[in-house]
Amino acid sequence: MKNTVYINGEFETLNINSDSIIKYIQQILLKLELNKKELSIYFCGNDEMRTYNKEYRDINNPTDVLSFLQQDQDDSGFDKNILGDVVICTDVLIKQAGEYKVSLKSELLRLLIHGILHLLGYEHETNLEDEKIMQKKEQSLMEYLGVKFDK
């Protein structure tokens, strides 16, 4: 069964259309064996991402990607088919693609994978073991999509 993906925000500077982004996300979710899930991807610029990062992580700088699990505080009414929201900062994405010497598409895919894995409970900031597990899963998904990425 297909997943439902919503794309919003400003991503024209990436020169990738929304249908292509949705196709990549569908491939990622398929490989993760997720069906009938709902996911929202939102693209924003530095200023808006800085606001989110400050509000939710108390860091007063933009970041590349943030993930927000769709869940109530007490889990009442929690729809397990709704994964959540992934917010990607296009300004940081473009900057990082240049720094890592990769295409915008490669960096976009890396950030999509990273954000989705966070929604599934993967973590990299807690300890080295968790970071290695998440990196291995990211690399596996990148290879599945045919993208080589060495950061």
Q: List CB contacts of 100: < 8 A, sequence separation 6 or more.
A: 107, 149, 151
Q: Per-residue pLDDT for the chain (151 aa), expressed as one digit of tens each? A: 689 999 999 999 999 999 999 999 999 999 999 999 999 999 999 999 999 999 999 999 999 999 998 764 445 556 778 899 999 999 999 999 999 999 999 999 999 999 999 999 898 877 888 889 999 999 999 999 998 766 5
pTM given for the model: 0.91
Eight-state DSSP code of residue 73: T
Q: Is 55 exposed, middle or buried (0-12, 13-18, 19+ CB in 10 A)?
A: exposed
Complete domains list, the chain, with CATH? 4-144 (3.40.390.30)
Q: List CB contacts of 44: < 8 A, sequence separation 6 or more.
A: 9, 10, 52, 87, 88, 89, 90
Q: Are 45 and 91 in contact (CB under 8 A)?
A: yes
